[in-house]
Amino acid sequence: MDDDSGTLPPRQDFSGWFNDILWRAEIMDVRYPVKGLYVWYPYGFAIRKFVYNRLRELLDRDHQETLFPLLIPEQEFMKEAEHIKGFEDEVYWVTHGGTTPLDVKLALRPTSETAIYPMYALWLRSHADLPMKYYQIVNTFRYETKQTRPLIRLREITSFMESHTVHATWDEAEAQCEYELGLTKEFYDGLCIPVTISKRPDWDKFPGADYTIAVDAIMPNGKTLQIGTVHHLGTHFSKTFGIQYEDKDGKAQLANQTCYGISERSIAALISMHGDDKGLILPPAVAPVQAVIVPITIGKRHEDVLAAATKLEADLKAAGFRVKMDTRDMRPGAKYYWWELRGVPLRLELGPRDIDAGKVMAVKRTGEKTSLERATIIDGITTVFAEITEAIRARAEEHTKSHLCAVDSTDALNTALNEGKVAVVHWCRERGCGDAIEEKANSSILGTEVRSPYVDASDGKCIICGKPGRATLVGRTY
């Protein structure tokens, strides 16, 4: 029927849209023949590269990058009781070297605490060594039993940034958690992704943490996606792994630790949050191609136009923009759709009319068409990029704002969630009431101590028992 809109499903069918855009825009190929493992296409990997470059820049302000091994010996992995309980059903084990059974089984890291902390115990001697702030970006393996999804629920997480810090005191570690939340917010702000931050309930915290603060994004269908977590580990791990330092008085002290993580779910959020019926919309900051030049070559001015476009491309590249000139033998319209699908934020059209007028036609992926002066094109594009970024951000903020609402009963909660919203309720923080909230509305408690400009975090009566309660985010999660 509407065969001119391509076959990308509309955004209302978010699940269909997401599955389809991954291969149409050449981000991930799901056809790798092992469950939960997917292949990055070059274009998807280029997006990943620019996103992770930003992440590295942020972390390198304060952390140092490092790299630990993939394999963890069983006895180290089994040291911390809570941690084991949290991960034992999800661990892949290496049991053989060739045909020889191994004396000591080796775990493929599901996360790297038990790989890193024995080394931290060796590295840490004195209070003068503190704080230690290292991170790595690695793949991790989890034998997920729930349905796997590309970028969202994987058996091999390919892009796991995990930071592990060590501090003298609990308070310093807490301050580090706050700092890391700030980094996370800044990171997502750069991707124009609004987030809600909240403290996970105790039963949902990281295995072996004092507390977990999570960062969630609200997807187009109203489901929430956890896209970052910060954990205060207290001294749980320093006890088991013997991470101690001598204080100024020469006395041995247990260290306090934090860890936090961000994965390719950040890419899932990026492509989900900003897309439309035509495809991806990438913020200029992370778009592998920030602007595409489409020369409109007709008749005998073919050479003229091509020369002008080549010059334009060279000028823009020299100015540091990531541009691509599309000289393929296709009709201009077909090229427009092709680049729109891939989310390129700006299209520059250059034809005989524009050359004569000293202009370049600039079409924003967010929908607006403007004519830029060729003479001042660098400034013009810089301005346009800022406008595009703002438009993308504003749209995402509006989405997030409109998908949050306060409710004061389980019926209202159910209604809100069924409408695809994330709700704010009051909850007394008792497990029983928490379970009741989750069961009655088929939902998950995301957390308390909510931080979001769109959430009123003041106290109120628990919607189950009526006792004093705290503002709490409740949603349906990925």
Map the footprint of RNA across residues 249-278, applying CB under 7 A: 278
When the beta carbons of 148 and 382 are compared against RNA, the nearer one is 148
* Letter string b/e over residues 300-332, b meaning 16 or more CB atoms within 10 A of that residue's CB: ebeeebeebbeebbeebeeeebbbbbbeeeeee
Output the smallest distance, CB 27 to RNA, in A. Answer: 13
When the beta carbons of 5 and 53 are compared against RNA, the nearer one is 5
When the beta carbons of 10 and 69 are compared against RNA, the nearer one is 10
Q: What is the x/- site pattern for RNA, positions 332-371, by CB under 7 A?
A: xxx-xxx-xx-----x-xxxxxx------x-x--------
User: Which of 98, 101, 299, 358 touches RNA by CB under 7 A?
Assistant: 299
Per CB under 7 A, 434 contacts RNA: no
Output the smallest distance, CB 163 to RNA, in A. Answer: 29
Collect all residues with Cβ–Cβ distance below 8 Å to 367 and sequence separation of at least 6: 391
CA dihedral 96, 101, 102, 107 (to 10 degrees): 40
Output the smallest distance, CB 85 to RNA, in A. Answer: 15
Rounded to whole angstroms, the Cα distance separating 313 from 195 reads 36
User: Which of 31, 61, 251, 300 touches RNA by CB under 7 A?
Assistant: 31
Stretch that binds RNA, among 57-65, 114-122, 325-333, 451-459 (CB under 7 A): 325-333
Per CB under 7 A, 242 contacts RNA: no
Per CB under 7 A, 477 contacts RNA: no
Per CB under 7 A, 298 contacts RNA: yes
Rounded to whole angstroms, the Cα distance separating 255 from 179 reads 18
Per CB under 7 A, 33 contacts RNA: yes
Output the smallest distance, CB 190 to RNA, in A. Answer: 27
Output the smallest distance, CB 336 to RNA, in A. Answer: 4
Per CB under 7 A, 1 contacts RNA: no
User: Which of 1, 7, 101, 303 touches RNA by CB under 7 A?
Assistant: 7
Helix or strand (DSSP H, E) at 254: strand 252-254
Sign (positive or negative) of CA dihedral 334, 339, 345, 348:
negative
Tokens of residue 353, six digits:
């009319």
Please list the helix, strand and coil fractions of the chain in percent, rounded to the nearest 5, in that order: 40, 30, 35
Rounded to whole angstroms, the Cα distance separating 98 from 117 reads 29
Per CB under 7 A, 303 contacts RNA: no
User: Which of 439, 453, 467, 468 touches RNA by CB under 7 A?
Assistant: 439
Query: Which residue is it, tokens 């592990």?
Result: 164
Per CB under 7 A, 329 contacts RNA: yes
CA distances from residue 117 to 77, 81, 134, 269, 367 in whole angstroms, order as listed:
10, 15, 11, 31, 50
Answer yes or no: are the C-beta atoms of 174 and 210 closer than 8 Å: no
Map the footprint of RNA across residues 129-158, applying CB under 7 A: 145-150
When the beta carbons of 167 and 342 are compared against RNA, the nearer one is 342
The DSSP bridge partners found for residue 261 are: 162, 229
When the beta carbons of 291 and 350 are compared against RNA, the nearer one is 350
Per CB under 7 A, 15 contacts RNA: yes
State whether residue 200 is helix, strand or coil.
Answer: coil
Answer yes or no: are the C-beta atoms of 187 and 58 closer than 8 Å: yes
When the beta carbons of 207 and 469 are compared against RNA, the nearer one is 207
Stretch that binds RNA, among 30-38, 64-72, 106-114, 451-459 (CB under 7 A): 30-38
Output the smallest distance, CB 312 to RNA, in A. Answer: 13
When the beta carbons of 19 and 244 are compared against RNA, the nearer one is 19
Alpha-helical segments (H) within 35-192:
42-60, 74-77, 81-87, 113-123, 170-190
Tokens of residue 44, six digits:
């998807």
Question: In angstroms, how far is CA 307 from the centroid of its own chain?
Answer: 41
Per CB under 7 A, 326 contacts RNA: no
Per CB under 7 A, 39 contacts RNA: no
266: closest CA among 134, 158, 414? 158
User: Which of 10, 12, 30, 467 touches RNA by CB under 7 A?
Assistant: 30
Collect all residues with Cβ–Cβ distance below 8 Å to 411 and sequence separation of at least 6: none
Per CB under 7 A, 64 contacts RNA: no
Classify residue 301 by its DSSP letter.
G
User: Which of 60, 319, 442, 466 touches RNA by CB under 7 A?
Assistant: 442
Per CB under 7 A, 19 contacts RNA: yes
Q: Could you give phi then psi for residue 166, rounded to 5 degrees?
A: -130, 135
Rounded to whole angstroms, the Cα distance separating 186 from 285 reads 13
Q: Could you give phi then psi for residue 53, rounded to 5 degrees?
A: -60, -40
Q: How many binding residues for RNA (CB under 7 A)?
A: 47
Output the smallest distance, CB 278 to RNA, in A. Answer: 7
Output the smallest distance, CB 6 to RNA, in A. Answer: 3
Rounded to whole angstroms, the Cα distance separating 169 from 171 reads 5
Per CB under 7 A, 50 contacts RNA: no
Rounded to whole angstroms, the Cα distance separating 7 from 226 reads 29
Output the smallest distance, CB 106 to RNA, in A. Answer: 21
Binding-site ranges for RNA (CB under 7 A): 3-7, 15-16, 19, 30-31, 33-36, 145-150, 278, 296-299, 329-334, 336-338, 340-341, 347, 349-354, 361, 363, 439, 442
